[in-house]
Amino acid sequence: MCGIVGLFVREDTVLPVDRERMQCLLEKLAYRGPDGTDVWSANRCLLGHRRLSIIDLSSAGAQPFEISEMGLVITFNGEIYNFMEIRQALASQGYVFRSHSDTEVILYAYHHYGMDFLEHLHGMFAFCLLDQKRNIAILARDPAGEKPLYYYMDSGRLVFSSEIKTFHAFPEIDLTIDVESVKAFFALQYIPGPHTVYRHIRKLPAGHALEISLDHWQARERPFWSFENTQLAPSTPEEIDTLLSESVRYRLIADVEVGLLLSGGIDSALLASYAYKNGSKLRVFTARFEEEKLDELQYAQQVADYLGLQQIVITGGQITPEAFDKVILHGVELLGGPACIPTFLQL
């Protein structure tokens, strides 16, 4: 994962204190991206990024990514799985790429397709794209809502981030607790979006884009994906098998080694099987826990041995108050599911 943070101001210029806050925030978000960090700045805008390199490990893929001649800048968290297909289509239209990253593909896709570019992107993503020629900013989040994106907007500034605790760095932001959201959490064990635990901070809904006119300071949120507009669901086991295999194949595309968290469950066993069928000899990681109810090592070993995959066993550790503190820190929002604790312990 990567980390993205941004600030837009309506009339004044960004202040030195805003730049200091941005640098401080990116330092605190180092765990989201240990491979690089940078800030792109203009008079009324700061875009920050923490990089975890997956596609194009060179400096050519660093972010925030700018195509200056087109006036386009982006800070992006995620992966575009079909970026090679989009890249080939754009190259046939005369676009020339300077990197091998999926980030650059997003910008050229926007330039070529306009706002319809979102319908061409298949992947997990959250990003802010700035079009300086039209003086608009676009926040977008993938259809499954896999990548988080939070934002705050008032009459004078817009702040967005991958993590909700980022907003604590801005004392001018109203962080009043949303009582109704807290009630929803105790009833449902989660807070339904676009609401958050804070009354004035929103979570961009999955499959939505927020287009902000920086001239008029107006925001328009719209869906770019919905179940109603998708193709008919697969109706045969063969169709389901093909879709699952293709989905796993896309997720194996990387310039770094790909691994898999393998429990003793059906889901991860299926993923390991499809990865194997796609020719990947990926390493699998399994957590061993002293608590018998949490430990599934014997079942995971059966899967790894059957597929001939190298298995690395990690001691999950103890569930302690210190572990709870760390889970809360990295949980971003209120969490009701206990699975987040053993998942954290094995990472």
Active site residues: 2
Q: Give bridge partners of residue 37 from the DSSP assignment.
A: 50
The token duo for 111 is 């330039």
Q: How far apart are the first and last CA of the chain?
A: 13
| Nearest Cα residue to 75 out of 115, 32, 114 | 32
Q: Assess contact for 299 and 311: CB atoms under 8 A.
A: no
The SS3 of residue 285 is: strand
Token representation of residue 144 = 């499954």
Q: Which residue has the tokens 């210029």?
A: 13
Q: Are the CB atoms for 106 and 74 separated by under 8 Å?
A: yes
What are the phi and psi torsion angles at 2 (to 5°)?
-115, 175
Please give the sequence-ordered ranges of beta strands (E in DSSP) within 105-207, or none if there are none: 123-131, 136-141, 150-153, 157-161, 202-203
